[in-house]
Structure 1
Amino acid sequence: MWSTLEEAIVETRSTPLENRPRLPRIALSKRNRAVVRALNAILVTYLEASRDLCETDSILFGAALAVCRIIGVKVSTAAWRRRIEERIAKALVGRLICFRSGNNRPRIVHTVRMAFAGTNVSFYQPDITQKLTERIDDLKQRIAAWGKRIRRYTERSTRFNQNHLFRVIRRGSMNHWSDQW
């Protein structure tokens, strides 16, 4: 349990808030309550050493993540987002630019061959640099579109959460004001 908790807290500290996974609700069984009680006892030492609210938040989220891992509940990150980030990583525009500037190392050449796979472009064409430039521009446009898709979703999600909090807080303050009158 200690190692799982420590790993989850370290992972949570290094992850921005918007990239944290959604945690599912867990069933209140005897086993799950026992795991939570055991982690609560361990958690005291971490919380006493906490210096500010952000650190306390990451410790608590890490503890919740550790509970899910110990119990065996599947924690899902946004699968579509991970796929898009993998596509961006596989684009390898930097290697194509290296090849265009004269780097002919085997790994670079292999990347260029992969970039032109499925097209009828060969390395021995006289206009390979023009084709390479077009391919680089195409990949840059795709990466920009994928990045915008992630950004749009993140902004929408943030806006939704802020509006929800505003409604909840406002509702609570309305009840507070009505109690005073």
Structure 2
Amino acid sequence: MAEGKTRILILGGGFGGVYTAMYLGKAMTRAERERIEVTLVSQENYIVFQPFLPEVISGTIETLHVITPIRRLAKRARLHTREIEAIDIEQRTVRLAPEFIPRPTELKFDHLVLAMGTKMNYSLVPGMKEHAIDFKYLGDALRLRNEAVRMLEQADNEPDPEERRKLLTFVVGGGGFSAWG
């Protein structure tokens, strides 16, 4: 980064973070791009279109059709694919966890955008934490699909109707656009 640039740091590679980076990249004039640096931190280098995850589970949409590389969308932002280790508001820094390089990376900012998404709240339904399969990320959809197929295969070979009924019972706990389909 050239000295004197205004540093905008966006934490989170979901809709909020990626679309903020896209908007800033498109809205800035050439002169503004010379003075402003936009950096995005995400755990992955792709964004998942979560409303299509149910179709990944059912097999009606190919896995690669629900992801898009962040660099393709936010062309004018620098991307760091790391976990966030610490945020220091007073020092205006964010420390990223070590990965391939065995030391943390520190990013300085003038403006910070927090777009890290939501966190599952299992406390609302007794037994949810022990028995639920998360359903937010692409890996979750693949795990859920594999578990559903495993249950269907077991049910197909189960002679006891009551046990078969149990194997064929699924509960969706939660809501939002990615919880229905």
TM-score (norm 2): 0.27
Q: Which has the higher contact order (CA 8 A, sep 6+)?
A: 2
User: When you count strand as a share of all residues, which structure comes out higher?
Assistant: 2
TM-score (norm 1): 0.27
User: When you count helix as a share of all residues, which structure comes out higher?
Assistant: 1
Structure with greater Cα Rg: 1
